[in-house]
Amino acid sequence: MSTKLIAAVAGCAVLAAGSMNEAQAFEGGVSPYPAGAVSTNIANLPPIPGLFALEQFNYSFANGLYGNDGNKLPIPFHTSVFSETTRLLAAYPFHLLGANVYTQLVVPVVSLHSTVFGQSSTQNGLSNITLTPVLLQWNLSQNLAIASGIDVAFETGSYSPVKTSVAVGYTSVQPVISVRYNVPNGIDLGLSNRFLLNQKNGTTNYSSGDGYVGEFEAGWNFGPWKLGVVGAYLNQFSDDKADGVNVGNRMRTFGIGPSVVYDARSWNVNLNYQQGVYAANTAKSSSVWLNIAIPLWPGFGRKG
């Protein structure tokens, strides 16, 4: 669930009710994936077998909704969102098609505070759980890696069709392919490409359009430190459908900001800020991310 875009839920629920129809994009105006969440972890997977965890703490805020032309709409609107996401990664002691093999489970818990037209509400709960059954990473050289898998964000969590929610009410299948070029004491460049193939919400008979999320990072390594930038672009490339009929416009967002990493080899910390630069048919949200990667059971399954 998008902790970066979830801030649009309350406002877009009002718009969908008929006050202004020009801001329809994804159901409830929220993406099933938090664009920008990958941060500096693009194609950056453990090279040894084991069980690993990435704890992600996020605070997002927004003060306006934007129409299809990218201009701010005259709607009194404010949201703040806090989330804590646990990503569990199992790295296996074998190869498949020449690649290292992983499985990932993502469990996000979200607290959403919103004020629209002077009416405030708070929603807390579990968001959509995501599973990556098979994630592959090929290390093409010492510095170049490619990773690919299919994430499945399930129809789980605290969803309601009649009020603001911290989860979407449908399943989203998300093929991902990422590439990373990383030189110790040198340049670090990464790009992740994700497609959002969204299924119909069986409760509302509403089909959110499909989308693309491009996430990037660029920096320079100084020993254990890395300074750089991270960001994300989201583009909904097909229309929503209500009862099979095309409705509304398509969501687009772009955010970018500074990032600092400390890599102690056995653990890793990343702090980044992503400023919302552009938004259409949703809120222009800005986010602070704190990511802490730790080993839980390094070397499990290793022979000898």
244: its two tokens: 């099979």
pLDDT of residue 19: 30
Give Cβ neighbours of residue 159 (< 8 Å, ≥ 6 apart). Answer: 165, 167, 168, 169
The answer to whether residues 273 and 290 touch, using CB atoms and an 8 Å cutoff, is: no
Strands 268-280, 252-263: pairing kind: antiparallel
The answer to whether residues 206 and 240 touch, using CB atoms and an 8 Å cutoff, is: yes
CA dihedral 215, 67, 78, 129 (to 10 degrees): -40
Q: 208: closest CA among 176, 174, 236?
A: 236
The answer to whether residues 92 and 101 touch, using CB atoms and an 8 Å cutoff, is: yes
Q: 2.40.160.40, 2.115.10.20, 1.10.10.60, 3.75.10.10: which CATH number matches 6-297?
A: 2.40.160.40
The answer to whether residues 82 and 110 touch, using CB atoms and an 8 Å cutoff, is: yes
Cα–Cα separations (whole angstroms), residue 196 to 162, 182, 213, 219, 250: 24, 27, 8, 27, 13
pTM to 2 decimal places: 0.90
pLDDT of residue 27: 87
Instruction: Give the whole-angstrom CA distance, residue 80 versus residue 121.
Output: 11
The answer to whether residues 10 and 19 touch, using CB atoms and an 8 Å cutoff, is: no
pLDDT of residue 15: 31
pLDDT of residue 187: 98
pLDDT of residue 219: 98
Residue 126 pairs with which residues in a beta bridge?
Answer: 109
pLDDT tens, N- to C-terminus, the chain (304 residues): 333 333 333 333 333 222 333 445 888 778 999 999 999 999 999 999 999 999 999 999 999 999 999 999 998 989 999 999 999 999 999 999 999 999 999 999 999 999 888 888 899 999 999 999 999 999 999 999 999 999 999 998 999 888 888 999 999 999 999 999 999 999 999 999 999 999 999 999 999 999 999 999 999 999 999 999 999 999 999 999 999 899 878 999 999 999 999 999 889 999 999 999 999 999 999 999 999 999 999 887 666 5
The answer to whether residues 299 and 48 touch, using CB atoms and an 8 Å cutoff, is: yes
Instruction: Give the whole-angstrom CA distance, residue 77 versus residue 55.
Output: 30
Q: 188: closest CA among 231, 140, 146, 229?
A: 229
Instruction: Give the whole-angstrom CA distance, residue 260 versus residue 50.
Output: 26
Give Cβ neighbours of residue 57 (< 8 Å, ≥ 6 apart). Answer: 82, 83, 84, 289, 290, 291
The answer to whether residues 174 and 192 touch, using CB atoms and an 8 Å cutoff, is: no
Instruction: Give the whole-angstrom CA distance, residue 127 versus residue 169.
Output: 10
Give Cβ neighbours of residue 89 (< 8 Å, ≥ 6 apart). Answer: 45, 46, 51, 52, 53, 54, 102, 103, 104
